[in-house]
Structure 1
Amino acid sequence: MGIDTVNLGRIDLNLLVHLDALLTERSVTRAAARVGIGQSAMSHNLARLRDLFGDELLTRGPEGLRLTPRAVTLVEPVRITLAQIQMLVSRDKAFDPATAVRTFRLGLPDSMEVLIVPALLARLREVAPGIHLRLYNIGSSPLLDRLDADELDLAIGYDVFPQGQVHHKRRLLFTETYLCMFNAERTGVVPPISLDDYVRLPHVLTSLRPGRSVRGVVDDALEKLGLQRSVVLTTPRFLTVPSLVARAPVVVTMHARLARMFAAELGLSLSPPPVALREVTVSLLWHASYDADPAHAWLRQLVVQLVADV
């Protein structure tokens, strides 16, 4: 398909920057501040955009401006196009980790933070001292929405997160199995734990899912056997679990890498679960607009390399 250079030349491509700000902020005032122009100038540009697209784009609703159906379809194409243009004009600027200065916003649960970030931080201080990290606990937050809103550069999460759309990029980091962890002295159980003891003992459940009634993969596996367990505590924070298990006669079933780390530190016992549990996957997620960003691509590859060592 050829480029219509005559008609394209009549378009002020700067309008795409203003359109992106309007679609993101859904406010003329905030969009103007975002790109550094006056409110009246942004209002004028909105009128030009409406004429260009033959659509109102933003209309007034009970809670302020809202996107028209046409505007909704423009959000991702406009953002990706602007990112590609930025990459195009800066392609001659080679990325050098040793001299680069940039802050990356990384969303991940605390379990991945303790497994991956120490090695990542050590490597960054060694080879890229100007690269900084800002970590966010993604927990049960709407992860893909945060990627779309450009609130996160990268995310690391379990396969409980939704698959997303074509602009949500995903790379498998590793698959994970489960182990049971408990204090042998307090529970009176010696590994390997039996199914009877497993059902008899109270359980601690780690879950990132919101809601009053939370089930885990263990509950589904036990249900197939006509059994159920007693969950006495549910928490979204994996890092509190070792202390809970060390001081109470309880058992937790958690991802194997993390369980081995905690058990080694606190002298806790480990055992394979007495029920069959499917493996989980851990993936790296990002928005397609960063695909060609050399710094972003470098960081993604560094995470992949470090996770292979873990």
Structure 2
Amino acid sequence: MNLARIDLNLLVYLDVLLREKSVTKAANHLGITQPAMSNGLRRLRDMFGDPLLVRTSEGMTATARAVELQPLIRTVLTEIDQVVQPREEFDAATTKRVFRIMASDYAESALIPAVLKRIRDEAPGVILDVLTPSDVSFLDVEQGRVDMAINRFDKIPQSFHQRTIWEDSFSCLLSVHNPLVYDFTLDAYLNANHIWVSKTGFGVGVGVNPKDVQRLGWVDEALAKLDKKRNISVFTRHYQVAMLLSQQRDLIATLPSRAAQLMLDNPNLVIKEPPFPIPPFELKMAWSPLLQNNSDHRWLRRLITQTADAPEELEIRARD
């Protein structure tokens, strides 16, 4: 096959087609008409001598040849993208760049205010678009539509780049009027009423089953290892809500320490160390290999890392 006769745009078409499994969706993603995408698929079939996508009862399904090609096409396009990236360095002082960051509620509360303050100091023209995990899919990050995902990840695609932002422990928030302030033992903790808070991963969340300890997270798994279980009265996915609810006299919120410390100046709340061991966890940022060598993305990653490495700056700016 003569390489000069190959239309590299067809490889882009194939990459999107194999992800979307739909001519219509692929056309919408690339901003072309459906007939143009159908024509592209016909040319791809001629190029590879294979139907690539066939219609089945479950929709368009990739052939064995297409499954074999998918990771190879993704690698080729990633390398081409790196080759054609402009070599000009990112000018933070003058850019009007929009950065889209998916951040968990925990990260949005504990990290993003300090990151935004630093952005305003160094790059006043930058616009920050903060998305929730329910707004984003792994595909959005992989394709570079979202610049960064900041969360606690159980699993992420192997192709993603990632870096640990920090390690955090857990703390308990309770009202100054809660009688347990002066008797914060494990038995007292177990007899109290609790606020559960968590939202990790991607996609739209579903209701929690209070009996499914394995899906309740770090706190309840730590208790299960002691053959103990707490009484959960409220389930929420928002750390700010959990912190507000913990001001009620009979409720306790057990949450990451960096989130709890945002309430240091609240006279209605007391921060206590949990009366049992809870393993620490890591907050990470993850991004697409398509953005690895992008100069403005390198600047963003550096800024986030430097902000996270300055705890005194985080504390001061979080209170601003």
Normalised to the residue count of structure 2, the TM-score between the two structures is 0.83
Deviation at 1:150, TM superposition (A): 4.3
2-structure distance, mates of 1:179, 1:41: 57
Is residue 191–residue 271 contact of structure 1 (8 Å, CA) maintained in 2? no
Deviation at 1:201, TM superposition (A): 1.0
Structure 2: runs of 5+ lacking an equivalent: 201-205, 315-320
Match of 2:244, SS?
helix
How far does the alpha carbon of each residue in 1:280-303 deviate from its partner, in whole angstroms, 9 at most, with x for none? 111111121211111112111111
Residue 162 of structure 1 aligns with an amino acid whose one-letter code is K
How far does the alpha carbon of each residue in 1:243-295 deviate from its partner, in whole angstroms, 9 at most, with x for none? 21112311111111111112423531111111111011111111212111111
Structure 1: runs of 5+ lacking an equivalent: 1-5
Is residue 144–residue 168 contact of structure 1 (8 Å, CA) maintained in 2? no
Aligned residues: 301
Match of 1:20, SS?
helix
User: Does residue 162 in structure 1 map to residue 163 in structure 2?
Assistant: no
Q: Calculate the aligned-residue CA RMSD, in Å.
A: 2.6
1:1-310 residue pairs with structure 2 within 5 A?
A: 7-62=2-57, 64-138=59-133, 143-148=137-142, 150-159=144-153, 161-165=154-158, 167-185=159-177, 187-190=178-181, 193-208=184-199, 210=206, 211-213=208-210, 214=212, 215-309=216-310, 310=314
Deviation at 1:52, TM superposition (A): 2.1
2-structure distance, mates of 1:263, 1:101: 36
1-structure distance, mates of 2:119, 2:175: 37
Residue 244 of structure 2 aligns with an amino acid whose one-letter code is S
Please identify, of 25-34 and 193-202, the stretch whose mean Cα deviation from structure 2 is larger.
25-34
Normalised to the residue count of structure 1, the TM-score between the two structures is 0.86
Please identify, of 242-251 and 63-72, the stretch whose mean Cα deviation from structure 2 is larger.
63-72
Deviation at 1:34, TM superposition (A): 4.3
2-structure distance, mates of 1:22, 1:217: 39
2-structure distance, mates of 1:60, 1:266: 63
2-structure distance, mates of 1:130, 1:293: 18
How far does the alpha carbon of each residue in 1:103-161 deviate from its partner, in whole angstroms, 9 at most, with x for none? 2221111111121111222222222233222211116x7753442354422101114x3
Percent identity over the alignment is: 34
Residue 181 of structure 2 aligns with an amino acid whose one-letter code is V
Pick closer, same or farther for the CA change 1:302–1:80 going to 2, 3 Å: farther
